[in-house]
C-alpha cells in the first residue's frame, strides 16, 4: 500500500511545485545530491514518494527491474478501480513489466524502424522551412518560438506518421498540455479525466476506421504487425498510439525550446554552432544533458523493502528518478553547469537507460537536429525579444518546457 502523509511524519522542506523551483530546479538538485540524494517528499496528491538525484543511483534504479518496477499488481489495489478509458491506455511502453515491454517493443520495432525514421529526414526539413516561411511572411521579425515553431513541427511529424488528419492536430496540443500538467495535480484531476476520455474516444474511432481500410501510415502498420503469430491487442494499440502522440511530441517540443534557450543564453556556444554547423549532433546531446525535456522518469514502485542510498524504502512506496539532476551530477560530468557543445563524453540519461530506453529517441534527435540547424541557418541573429523577464515554465514534474518563448531575429 502507499504511504500517506500525516502530521507525525517529517515532510519535505522542498516544494517541487513551487514556482521558484520550476523556474530553476538545479540549485535544489545540487543541494539534494550532496545532502540527501535519496529524498523523501510529499506529492500534491497527498502521497509520500522518494526522489533519487545522483547519476549512479538513477542509473541503478532504471536498470533494476526486480526491486523497482513500473506496474506492480498492488498499484490498483492502492488506488481503487481505474476508469475504463484510463484502463484502455494503461498497457503502454512506459508502464508495463519488463517481459511485456520486451514483447511490445519487439512488435513495434517491426513498424518503427531506423530506416523509416531516416526516410522522414527530407519531410522534417520541409516542415521546418514551411513553418519558418510562415513566420517570415508576417514581416515582423519576431515570433513565439514555442507556438510558431517548436510545437507545430513535431506534432505535424507524428500526426503525419500516424495518419491523423491535419484539422485534429491542434486539439492534441490542448489535450497534451492538460494531461501532462495534471500529473499529480489534484486541482486538474477532473479536467484531466475528461480529456483522457475524449482522447480515448477519438483513438477508438480513428483505429476502427483504419481497420476498415488500411492506409500508408503507422497506425495501419501497427494494426498489421505480427511476429510468430503474436499481434498487438486492441488495448495495446490504443496505449501505444496515445504514448506516441503525447510523449513523442512533448519530448521534441521541449528539446527545441530548451535547446534554443541554452544557445541564446550562451552566445559563444551559439556562435560556435553557426560557424561549425557540423557540431549540431553533439550540440543536441549537450542540450539533452544540460536542460533536457524530461524532468523525471515515470513512477516506479518498490517491490520489497529496500535499503538504498542509506534510506529504508518500504514495499509499495513510489520513486521518481530525476534525469535533470542526474545529468548535472558533478561526480559524473566535469563542470556540469557549463553548457558546452564540444563536450567529449556525454553519456546523459535524458532518454532513460535499460529496457525502458526511449523508443522514439532517434526521431527526437533527428527532429531536434534539423529544427535547430534550420532555425539558426535562416535566423542567425535570433535573440530574446526583449531583455527577458523570467520565462514561465510549465508546472509539471514530468516534463521541463516553456509556455512561451518570445524571440526576435
Radius of gyration of the chain (CA): 21
Q: Looking at residue 78, what is its pLDDT?
A: 46
Kindly report, residue by residue over 39-88, the tens digit of the pLDDT: 999 887 788 999 999 999 999 999 998 999 887 655 544 444 455 555 55
251 touches 358 (CB < 8 A): yes
Under the banding of pLDDT at 50, 70 and 90, the label for residue 94 is low
269 touches 339 (CB < 8 A): yes
CA-wise closest residue to 242 among 75, 94, 99: 94
CA 222, CA 104: separation in Å to the nearest integer?
Answer: 11
Average pLDDT across the chain, whole number = 86
CA 399, CA 294: separation in Å to the nearest integer?
Answer: 4
Edge-to-edge order in the sheet of strand 48-52:
38-42, 48-52, 318-321, 300-302, 68-69
The superfamily (CATH) of domain 19-408 is: Cytochrome P450 (1.10.630.10)
Tell me: pLDDT of 106 over 50.
Answer: yes
- Name which residue leads in pLDDT, 262 or 216: 262
CA 178, CA 196: separation in Å to the nearest integer?
Answer: 9
Kindly report, residue by residue over 158-195, the tens digit of the pLDDT: 888 888 888 888 887 788 778 777 765 667 778 888 88
CA 297, CA 113: separation in Å to the nearest integer?
Answer: 24
C-alpha cell read off for 330: 558533478
CA 351, CA 249: separation in Å to the nearest integer?
Answer: 14
CA 277, CA 228: separation in Å to the nearest integer?
Answer: 45
C-alpha cell read off for 354: 535499460
CA 303, CA 318: separation in Å to the nearest integer?
Answer: 10
Beta 318-321 vs 48-52: how paired, if at all? parallel
CA 183, CA 192: separation in Å to the nearest integer?
Answer: 8
Q: How far is CA 192 from CA 75, 168, 364, in A?
A: 20, 19, 26
CA 372, CA 405: separation in Å to the nearest integer?
Answer: 14
Tell me: pLDDT of 109 over 80.
Answer: no
User: Is the sign of the CA dihedral 334, 337, 338, 341 positive or negative?
Assistant: positive
Output the furthest CA–CA distance in the chain (Å, rounded): 62
Q: DSSP character for 146?
A: I
| Sheet strands (E) in 242-359 | 300-302, 306-308, 311-313, 318-321
**pTM score, two decimals?**
0.88
Tell me: pLDDT of 303 over 70.
Answer: yes
Q: Looking at residue 349, what is its pLDDT?
A: 97
Give, in degrees to the nearest 5, the angle at Cα 26 between 24 and 27. Answer: 95
Beta 406-408 vs 38-42: how paired, if at all? unpaired
Among 58-62, 87-91, 118-122, 150-154, where is mean pLDDT lowest? 87-91
| Sheet strands (E) in 282-372 | 300-302, 306-308, 311-313, 318-321
Amino acid at each position: 500500500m502507499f504511504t500517506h502523509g500525516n502530521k507525525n511524519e517529517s515532510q519535505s522542506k522542498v516544494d517541487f511545485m513551487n514556482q521558484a523551483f520550476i523556474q530553476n530546479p538545479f540549485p535544489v538538485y545540487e543541494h539534494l545530491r550532496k545532502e540527501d540524494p535519496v529524498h523523501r517528499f510529499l506529492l500534491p496528491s497527498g502521497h509520500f514518494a522518494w526522489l533519487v538525484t545522483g547519476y549512479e543511483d538513477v542509473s541503478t534504479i532504471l536498470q533494476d527491474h526486480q526491486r523497482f518496477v513500473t506496474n506492480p499488481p498492488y498499484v490498483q489495489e492502492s488506488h481503487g478501480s481505474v476508469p475504463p478509458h484510463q484502463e484502455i491506455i494503461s498497457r503502454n511502453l512506459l508502464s508495463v513489466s519488463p517481459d511485456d515491454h520486451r514483447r511490445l517493443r519487439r512488435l513495434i520495432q517491426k513498424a518503427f524502424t531506423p530506416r523509416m525514421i531516416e526516410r522522414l529526414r527530407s519531410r522534417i526539413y520541409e516542415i521546418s522551412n514551411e513553418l519558418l516561411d510562415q513566420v517570415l511572411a508576417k514581416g515582423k521579425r519576431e515570433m513565439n518560438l514555442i507556438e510558431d515553431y517548436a510545437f507545430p513541427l513535431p506534432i505535424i511529424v507524428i500526426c503525419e506518421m500516424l495518419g491523423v488528419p491535419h484539422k485534429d492536430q491542434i486539439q492534441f496540443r490542448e489535450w497534451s498540455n492538460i494531461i501532462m500538467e495534471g500529473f499529480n495535480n489534484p486541482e486538474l484531476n477532473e479536467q484531466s479525466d475528461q480529456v483522457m476520455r475524449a482522447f480515448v474516444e477519438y483513438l477508438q474511432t480513428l483505429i476502427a476506421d483504419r481497420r476498415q481500410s488500411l492506409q500508408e501510415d503507422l497506425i495501419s502498420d501497427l494494426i498489421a504487425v505480427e511476429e510468430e503469430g503474436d499481434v498487438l491487442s486492441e488495448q495495446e494499440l490504443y496505449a501505444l498510439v496515445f504514448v506516441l502522440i503525447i510523449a513523442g511530441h512533448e519530448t521534441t517540443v521541449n528539446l527545441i525550446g530548451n535547446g534554443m534557450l541554452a544557445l541564446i543564453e550562451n552566445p559563444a556556444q551559439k556562435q560556435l554552432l553557426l560557424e561549425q554547423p557540423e557540431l549540431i549532433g553533439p550540440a543536441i546531446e549537450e542540450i539533452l544533458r544540460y536542460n533536457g525535456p524530461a524532468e523525471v522518469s515515470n513512477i516506479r514502485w518498490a517491490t520489497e523493502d529496500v535499503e538504498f542510498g542509506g534510506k529504508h524504502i518500504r514495499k509499495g512506496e513510489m520513486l521518481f528518478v530525476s534525469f535533470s539532476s542526474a545529468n548535472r551530477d558533478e561526480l559524473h560530468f566535469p563542470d556540469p553547469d557549463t553548457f558546452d557543445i564540444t563536450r567529449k563524453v556525454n553519456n546523459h540519461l535524458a532518454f532513460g537507460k535499460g529496457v525502458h530506453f526511449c523508443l522514439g529517441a532517434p526521431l527526437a534527435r533527428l527532429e531536434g537536429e534539423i529544427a535547430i540547424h534550420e532555425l539558426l541557418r535562416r535566423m542567425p541573429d535570433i535573440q530574446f525579444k526583449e531583455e527577458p523577464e523570467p520565462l514561465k515554465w510549465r508546472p509539471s514534474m514530468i516534463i521541463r518546457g516553456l509556455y512561451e518563448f518570445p524571440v526576435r531575429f
